[in-house]
Structure 1
Amino acid sequence: MRYSTLLSLLATFTAGALASDVIDLTGGTFKSEVNGEDLALVEFFAPWCGHCKNLAPHYEEAATELKSKLGVKLAKVDCTEEAELCKEFGVNGYPTLKVFRNGVPTDYAGPRKADGIISYMVKQSLPAVSEVTPSSHDEFIKQDKVVLVAYGDESHPVPAAFAEYANSARDTYLFGQYLDSSLPSIPESPSLPAIVLYKQFDEGHNVLSTSEVSSLTADSLAEFIKSNSMPLVDEISPENFGDYAERGLPIAYVFAEPDDTATREQFIEEIKPIVKEFKDKVSFVTIDAVRFVDHGKGLALPGEDWPAFVIQELAEQSKYPLDTKFSAKNVEAHLRAYVDGKLSPKIKSEPIPKTQDQPVYHLTADGWDALFGDDSKDVFAEFFAPWCGHCKKLAPVWEELGEKYQNSKNVVIAQMDATLNDIPPTAPFKVAGFPTLKFRPAGSSDFEDYMGGRTLEDLIEFVEANKKSEGPLSTEEAVEERSDEDSAVAGEEEEVVEHDEL
């Protein structure tokens, strides 16, 4: 084969291998590609962004599926090349995804995996309530994991609340109405009007009773869907954690080794009766104990003995680990005690130091009242995580700050490792990002957020301006001793972490 022919074939193969159904947009092509489309999805990204790289294969897969299935365009804009275009659409983080309808954008609020993107855009392509016919019925009820269908006729109209709720929840669920005298086979054959929730898990469907349909409101329909739209027991991960968080229920975790499927499945079968009983009070999930061992430690589990069980209240950031032997019987007893309000949350704490002779006060959960119970002192506290990059940069500066006030009788510079200690329930705040800096003035029970720069100069100026106790420190003297390294952390933003690794 001639060399030129080989090169030609190679070029053709490479072009085919790299072919993409994701359209690359520029300032010059954006309007022509997007504004005339009934529906399109655009990703605004940066090539160096790790989250963008993780999204890329899922976005490609979704683009191919949606192009062939619905003719919906998926496109992307490189914000390092098209800064003005990204600014026009208010992009301030990567990746940012926006849904466009005839050129008008709205924020994309769906998942970042291929099947989730496809499901979300399918819903966007349909009216809030789709018309379902005898020929389309069987296919329609299988189009998503959860599908709601209302059945009625001229004598038994579908309640107006069905469309009302569908308009507000169209991004989450698929809604249809079947208005035909020739009804398909409906589970449990309820009287008309009827509403059935079809799902691709557990028993496969749930039927709203005739009496409930007759008095249906948007709120009662929302409660019915909330109660039945999640699997009785599912594996939780970063991909579906948001669904559980939005549900608003406490989460009961079974931490199990991923390879021990037999033990896990046997346990799930044993515990299903109690799960069904409490499904409206607690979300029951399994979780990979190896992959999410740090999340388990954050929930006061030892991190070495599996399987293990713990209940977490997200809003209160409280946890209730099972301290007895793991078994279906003990888990059921623990769940019942929790639902009945007979359990106290576990407060994780390091041991209280025997002495506090270091420049920075070592704050622990058990030692909280010993420090903050004395309101004669001004307290400036940092809450950190050892793995947090911004915390590591701040560490030497915080140590120097402690040294500046080490001889002060009324100003305390404190520090708490928030991965080893819980913020007590009595505290008037929760920690959602690292580092979090809080200042409690003398004579007050209020905590002020520190949002300023993180040089030694900035921190000292803040303390001097806000402290209420006597015995000032010379700010000028402290500023003169400021090291060059201090300026390196100025303007750093918080490293936000929600719900540990999930």
Structure 2
Amino acid sequence: MYVIFAFILSATIYGAEENVTDVPLIHTDKTFESTIAQRNTLVVLYVTWCPHCKRLLPEFKAAAELLKGNQSVQLAQINCEENKDACKKHVKGGYPTVLFFKGQEIIPYDGPRTSAGIKSWLDVNLRPTVFDAHSIDEAKTYAKQFEQALIGTFQSDKAPEYKKLFEHASSTRSKTIVRIAVINPSVKKPSLEFYHTKIDISEAGPSFSEVGANWDKENIKEFENAHSPPFYYDDPFSTQLRELQTETKAKAVLFYDPDYELKQQTDAFFEVAKKYRGKIGFALANKNIHSKKASHFNLGSEIYPSFAIEAPIEWSGLEEWNKKKEQEKKELNTQQTTKTPKLQDTSLLPFFKSHFVLPTKNTGSHVTIKSDQMASFIDQFLNGKIERSMRSSDLPPRANSPFSPVLQLVGKSFSKFAFDPTKSVLIRITTPSCQLCEKTRPIYRRLATDIKEIIESKSTKANSDSKAFAEQFIVAEIDVDENDLPAEATVLVEDIPDILLFQAVSSSDQNTPKRISSYSGPMTYEKIKRFLRDEFKSTNLPAFPLDISQHVI
């Protein structure tokens, strides 16, 4: 089967007419039609005054040199100022107009305007629009040259369903998907399947085999689009996987050892990926490349393969929190915030996701994870029946010595302090790679030191209310590069660094949940003090005791 492409590009001419060689061929009104009838021909129709033409023609000539000797295609050019008949017939828009004549069809060119881009585009479009095979084995053997294949089975190439597949292939060219027709006179009804060549898995389209099935090219396109996203990605941290839209917006990752029975590790994974396609994304992670990132999933680095799921954080109170923040904006009569510059996108940090780890028995350095184990684990996840795996690092020696004014928290200790109803806890969220965190560390330490000195002071200036506040107030921080936070704290973190305030509950309201506030202002000493003063002003708790400068706006 043959296809014809028509391209209308804004291109350019590289020089005077006399400098043009016979590669590409130069045509006139008299030779044009006879030449394109002999062989597949890519033609540029140009005018000498067009600047776009002047830029394109050198690239077009270079592409012709790259393809010199290729008997399946030729490149040609025609000057529309001297050959008006051919140009009047084929130029429907501006200059240059590029047409690819292939058999009896003309197809618009939409490729790059470089020699390499033109060659690459032709490599794709010189393929048969639909490759005719005589068996499914022949079809799949041919398909192995490409990433994916759309395979239809028909009684003959005269079948109306065959024609619809051809219409779809003609209107939608693909670099990665080849369209194949298996011609088998003995089949009772046509069928359609999508074949993933890399993992040798086919997905059937049952509706196309039904009596009265609608083989409209739009339905075929919809089927192809639904099945063309990869079953899995080789990089669990790729942009494509982050942007993949599934029902749960979650991804399952198999961390594997490429040096140990690779097929055994991945076959079960592919089976499960096919079953849960569309509900959850899938990725393979080579331990030699991604072992460091296994810690993001709270996985050890010794046992392979390991299987885990990563999902967005969920918190039932998020909607109410967002309403509260919107109301605060209205009360301030502004839609702008004065947050510090965001140095890190928190959505890409491991703490901003929930992780669920499939338990495996430690029988040595390698284990076997079967497909039914992965499937059962995914079912439990989808039904909300497994607990989130929380990362928690070890504290460095003497991290929380009596001389340290800032309490260092880890995943395991976070809730113990943050949700203690008798304590107000100010927690700074940091990561080691955050430059602003390091720059503002002395400011935060100064605040913690000033609070601590109120407790230790014997001065009469430190009155009982001030000491009461200081004794129930904790200044802490946590590194979220290695530690996870509870959902209700995680969703409130917008920037790195960020500061959250967990206010104590008065003795008369012990059954009331702690109020959590986030600080959205500049990371300065006076601004943070003002935030604390305002937060405690309308509570039954002791007032914030530190003096506030009247000169800070």
Aligned counterpart in structure 2 of residue 207 of structure 1, from 204, 209, 215? 204
Deviations 1:458-502 (A, max 9, x none): 32233223334432234446999xxxxxxxxxxxxxxxxxxxxxx
1:324 aligns with 2:353: no
Task: State the secondary structure of the residue aligned to 2:417.
Answer: helix
Aligned counterpart in structure 1 of residue 479 of structure 2, from 417, 420, 428? 417
Distance 2:149 2:173 in 1: 12
How far does residue 272 in structure 1 lie from its aligned partner after superposition?
A: 5.1
How far does residue 187 in structure 1 lie from its aligned partner after superposition?
A: 13
Q: How does 1:67-106 map to 2 (within 5 A)?
A: none
Q: How does 1:311-390 map to 2 (within 5 A)?
A: 311-316=308-313, 317-321=353-357, 322-325=359-362, 326-329=366-369, 332-333=372-373, 335-341=375-381, 342-350=385-393, 357=402, 358-375=404-421, 377-390=423-436
CA RMSD across the alignment: 5.7
Distance 1:409 1:417 in 2: 24
Instruction: Give the match for residue 145 of structure 1.
Output: 147
Distance 2:186 2:293 in 1: 42
Task: State the secondary structure of the residue aligned to 1:434.
Answer: coil
How far does residue 157 in structure 1 lie from its aligned partner after superposition?
A: 10
Aligned counterpart in structure 2 of residue 462 of structure 1, from 512, 516, 531? 531
Deviations 1:261-299 (A, max 9, x none): 343334224665555545555544332324323311121
Q: Which has the higher contact order (CA 8 A, sep 6+)?
A: 2
Relative to structure 1, is the Cα distance of residues 273 and 464 closer, same or farther in structure 2, using a 3 angstrom cutoff? Answer: same
Aligned AA for 1:346?
Answer: S
Deviations 1:74-104 (A, max 9, x none): xxxxxxxxxxxxxxxxxxxxxxxxxxx99xx
TM-score (norm 1): 0.53
On the 8 A contact 1:244/1:283 being kept in 2, the answer is no
How far does residue 415 in structure 1 lie from its aligned partner after superposition?
A: 0.9
Deviations 1:53-76 (A, max 9, x none): xxxxxxxxxxx99x989xxxxxxx
Distance 1:372 1:201 in 2: 49
Aligned AA for 1:393?
Answer: K
1:197 aligns with 2:201: no
Deviations 1:285-344 (A, max 9, x none): 3323243233111211233x1424131223232223334224224675355244235532
TM-score (norm 2): 0.49
On the 8 A contact 1:380/1:438 being kept in 2, the answer is yes
| Percent of matched pairs sharing the same residue | 12
Aligned counterpart in structure 1 of residue 543 of structure 2, from 461, 471, 495? 471
Relative to structure 1, is the Cα distance of residues 370 and 266 closer, same or farther in structure 2, using a 3 angstrom cutoff? Answer: closer
Task: State the secondary structure of the residue aligned to 2:200.
Answer: coil
On the 8 A contact 1:255/1:307 being kept in 2, the answer is yes
Deviations 1:197-224 (A, max 9, x none): 3544222653312358847999998687
Instruction: Give the match for residue 96 of structure 1.
Output: none
Distance 2:514 2:433 in 1: 30
Relative to structure 1, is the Cα distance of residues 289 and 359 closer, same or farther in structure 2, using a 3 angstrom cutoff? Answer: same
Relative to structure 1, is the Cα distance of residues 336 and 226 closer, same or farther in structure 2, using a 3 angstrom cutoff? Answer: farther
Distance 2:271 2:549 in 1: 69
> How many residues are aligned here?
365
On the 8 A contact 2:308/2:355 being kept in 1, the answer is yes
How far does residue 150 in structure 1 lie from its aligned partner after superposition?
A: 8.3
Relative to structure 1, is the Cα distance of residues 466 and 228 closer, same or farther in structure 2, using a 3 angstrom cutoff? Answer: same
Q: Which runs of 5+ in 2 are unaligned?
A: 1-49, 57-61, 68-93, 96-115, 133-138, 314-352, 455-469, 506-512
Task: State the secondary structure of the residue aligned to 2:261.
Answer: helix
Aligned AA for 2:429?
Answer: F
How far does residue 246 in structure 1 lie from its aligned partner after superposition?
A: 0.9
Distance 2:286 2:531 in 1: 44
Task: State the secondary structure of the residue aligned to 1:347.
Answer: coil
Q: Which runs of 5+ in 1 are unaligned?
A: 1-30, 38-63, 70-100, 103-116, 481-502
Aligned counterpart in structure 2 of residue 403 of structure 1, from 441, 449, 464? 449
Distance 2:255 2:186 in 1: 37
Aligned AA for 2:530?
Answer: E
